[in-house]
Structure formats: C-alpha cells, structure tokens
Amino acid sequence: MPAGDREIDMWKLRDIISPFYAWKRAFEKPFTIRKPLVEREGPPLYRGFHTNDLGKCIGCGSCEEICQNAAIDMRRAAGIEPAHGDSGLRPVIDYGRCCWCALCVDICPTTSLAMSNRYNWISETGEDWVFTPGIDDGGWNEDELGYRRAECAWLLDPSEQKMPVIAPDERRKNFEEMALGYGGDEAVKEAVRCLDCGLCIEACPTHMDVPSYIRAIRDGDLDEGLRLLYDTNPFSESCGRICTAKCQDACALGHLGEPIMIRWLKRYITDNTLDRRHAVLGT
Ligand code: SF4
Ligand code: SF4
C-alpha cells in the first residue's frame, strides 16, 4: 500500500476511536467547580461590586465624568438633601456596562467610593443590575476587602499653586499689593487640577460659572474667561482679590488636598485682559 494511503487509514481509525476517549472523561471527577452556586471569596483588592459611604460622598459626579462606559448616572437619592458642597446626588451604576476598571474609585476625591471583593449576583431581571452603591444592598456594603485607592495613587495634584508674594523685607517699605498674582504657567497648572464638578457654582452667591472660566484659562482663551466672569458678576476684578470665596470651601478637591484657588484664577483673568476689557465686553 502506498505511504499516502496508509496515513489516510490511520486518520480514519482515530476518527472512530476518539469519541470513546471523550466518553471516558464523563466518568472522571470534574475539574470545574459548580459556580456560581458555590460561593468562593474574591482575593483581597479584587474589583467587585462597588460600595459607597453615603455620608462621605458629596455628589461631585467625578466618577460619572471619568467612566468611559457611561455606566454611572448621578441621581437624587432618597433622604439626601443638597447642601453647601453637596449636590445631593449619588452615583447609580449599571453593571451591564461596567468593565470594573476602577477609574471611578481612583478619581473619587472623598474616597467614599470603593469596591468590595464580591462578584456573585444572580438575577434574570435587567433592572436588578442597576445599583445605587450604599443604598441598594446586595450584601457587600460593609465589605472592606475589595479594591480601594491607595493614599499615594492620586490622579490629580492635591496641592495648590502657591501665590508669589513680595518678600517681607520689601513689604515693610511700601504699600504695594502683597500678592503678585499668578503667571501664565501657575494659572494653567492650577486650572488643570479642576474636576469640573460645579459644586462651586451653587456655593457662589451670584452663581458664577466657575468651571467654564477655569476651562477658558486651561484653553488659553482669556477673552472668553472675561466674558464668563462679567456675565454674572460686575465686580469680578475686586472679587478676584477680596471675595470670601465660599466657592473654595465647597470645592471637591478640598476633601483630599487643597481646593482650587478659584479667587486667584479669577484675578488672573481680569489682570491679564486689562488692555482690551472694554472691547471684549462691548462696554
Ligand atoms: S466621585 Fe466620589 S464623592 Fe464624587 S459623586 Fe462619585 S462617589 Fe461621590
Ligand atoms: S469601574 Fe470603570 S466602567 Fe465600572 S463604573 Fe467605574 S469607571 Fe465605569
């Protein structure tokens, strides 16, 4: 018999025998475990279902903003009223969308949002996969074994840009303004720290659109920043120096580091548009 024909016969023989090998396995002890019916604890730092300390959460929405899968929706939570520095909203998470990346945990300025090491949840109803962590308790709210942001792993700079000032020896000799004002680099570095949460808008007595004028600094468009300032506050130049800055008390970043120096950023815009103020504002 030619060698090629012999090889074909071998393959046919294997085709006949191989199903019996498979059946032999049916009587062996299974290698898999009966999941998810058998509960098995996730390891420490496992990224399971979220937990949220509702007393610490300020409803800043940074978790919603950073989520690349649009899995988070900020909604009013029963029994939580808006207050100074707290929008009253809380994150609701759709686990049909979540990919467990934990960016929301890493950005949370209050560290209220964390993850449990629980991953078992059985339900055939789609709505059951949308939870408000901290309110809808699947039994893991108190779980502290899952992922949480390490103290050193902060996505944004928690320290403010210091305002340059006249040295004390010089200061004694004149009545010049002590604070010199931010330069361009300092202003942009301070502006990029902003989480864009808008808690400052509610805190400001005239509801200035702070995140938008901070964004204008970041984008290098000071004329737009000036227009935004004077939209709601005709005393922006003075407020950039002497305002009590209630907005800074409400700033989400203040929970972990120093709040954004909103007053100094306002001053930066007015100081650096003096030569064209009337043209920009049409006054
Ligand atoms: S980022 Fe943190 S503090 Fe802000 S809404 Fe989300 S959970 Fe609350
Ligand atoms: S873990 Fe990632 S995907 Fe899931 S809600 Fe948080 S940011 Fe969105």
> In a mutational test of the pocket of ligand 2, which residue from 46, 72, 131 has the highest number of ligand atoms less than 8 Å from its CB?
72
Query: How many Å apart are CA 51 and CA 149, to the nearest integer?
Result: 13
- The answer to whether the peptide bond before residue 205 is cis (omega within 30 degrees of 0) is no
Q: In order of start, what are the domains of the chain with their CATH numbers?
A: 50-131 (3.30.70.3270), 168-281 (1.10.1060.10)
Kindly report the protein residue whose alpha carbon is nearest to atom 4 of ligand 2. 98
Q: DSSP letter at 189?
A: H
> In a mutational test of the pocket of ligand 1, which residue from 50, 51, 53, 63 has the highest number of ligand atoms less than 8 Å from its CB?
63
The closest alpha carbon to 73, from 100, 49, 51, 97, belongs to: 97
Which tokens in the block code for residue 142?
Answer: 């108190």
Counting ligands in written order, the one closest to the CA of 54 is: 1
Give the number of other Cβ atoms within 10 Å of residue 102's Cβ: 19
CB 95 within 8 A of CB 130: yes
pLDDT digits (tens, 9 = 90+) for 84-113: 999 999 999 999 999 999 999 999 999 999
Name the packing angle between helices 184-191 and 262-271 (round to 10°).
Answer: 140
The total number of residues shown for the chain amounts to 283
Report CA(229)–ligand 1 centroid distance (Å): 27
φ/ψ of 50, rounded to 5, equals -75, 155
Q: What is the pLDDT of residue 223?
A: 96
The closest alpha carbon to 214, from 168, 146, 161, belongs to: 161
Q: What is the pLDDT of residue 36?
A: 58
Could you tell me the CA-to-CA distances from 263 to 115, 187, 197, 254 in Å, in that order? 36, 11, 17, 14
Q: What is the pLDDT of residue 42?
A: 87
Residue 68 has, within 13 A of its CA and on its CB side, a CA count of 5
Kindly report the protein residue whose alpha carbon is nearest to atom 1 of ligand 1. 108
Q: What is the pLDDT of residue 243?
A: 92
Position 134: which residue type? G
Q: What is the pLDDT of residue 10?
A: 76
Ligand 1 pocket by C-beta < 6 Å: which residues? 52, 57-63, 91, 108, 110, 112-113
Averaged in consecutive runs of 10 residues, what is the pLDDT profile of the chain (283 residues)?
A: 66 80 79 68 91 96 97 95 95 96 95 92 86 89 88 86 93 91 96 96 95 97 97 94 94 94 97 91 84
User: Which ipTM did the prediction report?
Assistant: 0.93
Alpha carbon distance, N-terminus to C-terminus of the chain? 104
Report the atom number in ligand 2 closest to the C-alpha of 100. 1
Kindly report the protein residue whose alpha carbon is nearest to atom 4 of ligand 1. 60
> In a mutational test of the pocket of ligand 2, which residue from 46, 52, 67 has the highest number of ligand atoms less than 8 Å from its CB?
67
Q: What is the pLDDT of residue 137?
A: 78
**Given the structure tokens 């935004």, which residue do they identify?**
228
Ligand 2 pocket by C-beta < 6 Å: which residues? 66-67, 69, 71-72, 93, 98-104
Between CA 213 and CA 220, with CA 217 as vertex, the angle to 5 degrees is 130
pLDDT digits (tens, 9 = 90+) for 146-198: 999 887 778 888 999 999 999 999 999 988 899 999 999 999 999 999 999 99
